[in-house]
A and B are shown apart, each in its own frame.
Chain A
Amino acid sequence: MDKPIRFVVDYVSYVVRGSPKFYAWMACLAVLIVAWVYAFFVQATEGLAVTGLNNQVSDGLYLGNFAFLVGVAAAAVTVVFPAYVYHHKALHDVAVLGEMVAIAAVIMANLFVLSHLGRPDRAWHMAPFVGLINFPSAMLPLDAMVLVGYLLLNLVCGFYFLYTKYTGGRMNHSWYVPLVYVSIVWALSIHTVTAFLFNTMPARPFWHIGMLPIQFIATAFAAGPSLIIVIFLIIRGNTKLAIADEAINLLSTIVTFCLGIALFLFMSEVVTELYHPTEHSLGLQYLMFGVHGLSPLVPWFWTALAANIVAFVMLLIPRVRKDYRLLPVACVLIFAGIWVQKGSGLLVPGYIPSPIGEYSNYLPTTLEVLVALGNWAIGFFILTILAKGAIGILLGEVKYASEPWLVISNDAPPYRTSFEPTAMQPWARSSDPGARVDVGAGARRGSRARRQGRVAVG
């Protein structure tokens, strides 16, 4: 029992120490989480009347974020799939980070499901065995179950990998690799079921389209890897973990393809719906142009579409795609654009007009925004902890030793472990020696290995 306990102790003690930047980031998130506690309490005691929702538009910001975040979670597969199926070396080295992103995203998605419930205290009615689930008819419990299953898969795969890395043991591939394959298929299933949650309702023609699942997956595989690219670039800029260019380049290629497919699917939808617009296309008309002068979503829609098209054109140019100063700009544009398209842009037009042709406004209240921001903050808080611990283990800074004061790193990891006080500009090519800049000894303050006078063989 020594090893697991030491794993937890070392992991936690590594994670809680960090640079002022790290503490500042966590403090910002903590402020949002405190605001969330207040807002969620008010919502749980007063009822959903404190939100902007009503009998006409009965879901909005919460379920929109839910749909988007399930996509982000599923997108971890863009890291894991090339790593394990195509044995992509650079991605294989950091595949565990993709799994960490998936864990945080699933937790956020489940928080959004919980926030949208009228009776969150009765959420246990949806739990298998304890409650009474409408299986297999209803999509929501199915979705909740596949999401929890995906969370467990990623926790098991991710932490088994980290634990063996920590102890320096050998991976048991006989069950680990099959489990990774299961999680790859599972990732596609969570987003498919989420799409089915919306598009199986003929009462809402805006959602009732057969290509919603593939549209969901295409947009997810554009927005998710965009987030992962930004996270990878931040990691490159702020830690010693050198994520190879090939990893980022492959991800940006995936983003380009999937964004292209998503745009094409959307174009098909627009032509099909608007060539001869029927009553069923009123939702789309409301989203794109407004109906009867009611156009609160129109600026959002066109801004998001413009962002996606601009980013797509940027990514089509290889020189821009490989310029790591411009790449994050494109990634942020995609992330924001798809968040609008898949969030409010998907949810609200599903409700407008209502089944009896009523147009009503929906504007999230401050409290609703606070709950949503808080859900995101909790997710990023968890993600930061997970990613920091994983980086520590990948770097070999968190490592098991029977006598911790005698740590000898006995394998040469593929990551930069040199103790030269250098760091890479996040946008520089890893093959370019000139891109290394001296950031001074301060950059490595807080390194446990250095304080203990350990030197890694690298």
Chain B
Amino acid sequence: MPQEKKAFLVDLDKEPPSRREARPAQAQKSERTVSSSRRGFLKDAGSLGIASLMGAAALLTNSDDAQAKTEWAEWFQSNYRLMTDEEKAQAKARLEKRYSSEYGKPVTVDTTPAKEGVLFGYALNIQKCIGCRRCVKACVQENNQSRGDKQEIEWIRVLKMEKGAFTPEKMKRGYPDPDGIQVGGNAYGAAGATLEGEHYYQPEQVPEKDAFYMPIACMQCEKPPCVKVCPVRTTYREADGIVVIDYNWCIGCRLCMNACPYWARRFNWSEPNLPKEEMNPKTHYMGNRPRMRGVVEKCTFCVQRTRQGRYPACVEVCPVGARKFGNLLDPNSEVSRILEGKRVFRLRAELNTYPKFFYFMD
């Protein structure tokens, strides 16, 4: 089973109050919802039996017929881009109804399209990143990824880079030839940013002395290789530059995972595990709505937030302000100013994917 182990140095719940402001509004909100529902649970423990009976009755009266109809309708629905506005509205209503009953709370499925004059871009300061992985955790909460031991999906991975260890002891090793050592003993050790890092690190404390960190996620390429190989056009680039997936059209062939040079895509090998109380009910059709078994998913720049003028969850949660986000077409946006004033680079630029995810240093 695919498992991605993770360790958080600082649990969000145990954070000092002074940090609370820096945390994303969404995360606080969802937490409040959780705690209130827990209180409600305790208070109403007595009526639980009745409630569950009512629930069962409601399910029975809803009847399998309606559910079967929904399933059929979903199965026959077309690729999102081919749907008429009416069909899109129907699909949205269908999903909202199904999710609301599945997760026991009102769920909205946003279908806001891309705005004109917007091209989203992202910049990450690798000098500032401390490798705390709060972004990873916030992303999971925000975007309804599968969690738990059976199937854990994280869209962001933080790579721990080695600073390199050059030692005098290694000087005598290597491949000698009569005129000297032609392959130095200090070869074969990693040093610097190589995109090949340990991403299961379990530190006592971050940042660690002998390392620096480079978080990766979907680079939202301007020329995305995943889109090119998709046999059914289920993953595509939206007008605002976000590469999205129509989960209902994906056939699960995983070619996009093969084509992605950044290992940004994840597959739902089994039915995703998304606990009701942890589910984020504010969803987008192309983004964080609950996924099904057998489809691929990845970072969408939090399309449900950014199209409403908010920051992605990872940007809001970052305690050191390493993450910046904005409109690349707006010269005054944070990301544009970074591109203008800082030394930036893209990952794997030699592959001509033209990511809109930049790295920079102060």
* Chain A residues proximal to chain B, CB less than 8 Å: 46-49, 53-56, 58-59, 116-119, 121-123, 125-126, 131-134, 137-141, 144, 197, 200-204, 279, 350-351, 353-358
Contact = CB atoms under 8 A, between A and B. Distances in A.
A355 B232 contact: no
A356 B157 contact: yes
A203 B258 contact: yes
Given A118-B252, A119-B252, A140-B253, A202 B351 contact: yes
A290 to B, nearest CB: 15
B254 A58 contact: yes
B228 to A, nearest CB: 5
A111 to B, nearest CB: 15
Given A48-B269, A139-B229, A132 B79 contact: yes
Given A59-B258, A141-B231, A356-B199, A203 B351 contact: yes
The 10 closest A-B pairs by CB, nearest first: A118-B252, A357-B196, A118-B294, A49-B270, A203-B261, A54-B2, A49-B269, A140-B231, A47-B270, A47-B293
Interface of B: 1-2, 4, 75, 78-79, 82, 150-151, 157, 159, 194-197, 199, 216, 225, 228-234, 249-255, 257-263, 266-271, 293-296, 351
B265 to A, nearest CB: 8
A54 B257 contact: no
Contacts of A200: 229
A122 B259 contact: no
A118 B297 CA distance: 13
Contacts of A140: 229, 231, 253, 255
A138 B270 contact: no
Given A119-B294, A202-B261, A203-B351, A138 B252 contact: no
11 contacts: A54-B1, A55-B257, A58-B257, A121-B75, A123-B251, A134-B228, A201-B259, A355-B195, A356-B197, A356-B262, A357-B196
Nearest to B350: A202
Given A125-B232, A132-B232, A356-B159, A55 B1 contact: no
Contacts of B82: 132
Contact of A53 (B199, B232, B259, B269): B269
B293 A118 contact: yes
A353 B196 CA distance: 10
A285 B295 CA distance: 32
A198 to B, nearest CB: 8
Contacts of A351: 258
Contacts of B159: 356
Contacts of B230: 134, 138
Given A121-B75, A203-B259, A132 B251 contact: no
Nearest to A138: B231
Contacts of A125: 79, 232, 234, 249, 251
A203 B195 contact: no
Nearest to B272: A47
Given A119-B250, A125-B232, A134-B230, A356 B268 contact: no
Contacts of A126: 231-232, 251
Nearest to A132: B79
Contacts of A117: 251-253, 294
B196 A201 contact: no
Nearest to B259: A201
A139 B230 CA distance: 8
Most buried by B among A54, A125, A350, A356: A356
B249 A138 contact: no
Contacts of B253: 116-118, 140
Contacts of A59: 254, 258
B197 A357 contact: yes
B85 to A, nearest CB: 18
A125 B4 CA distance: 31
Contacts of A279: 196
Most buried by A among B79, B194, B252: B252
B354 to A, nearest CB: 13
A134 B251 CA distance: 13
B269 to A, nearest CB: 4
A355 B262 contact: yes
Nearest to A140: B231
Contact of A138 (B228, B254, B260, B294): B228
Contacts of A202: 225, 261, 351
Contacts of A358: 199, 263
A56 B194 CA distance: 18
A54 to B, nearest CB: 4
A137 B270 CA distance: 29
B52 to A, nearest CB: 27
Most buried by B among A56, A118, A201: A118
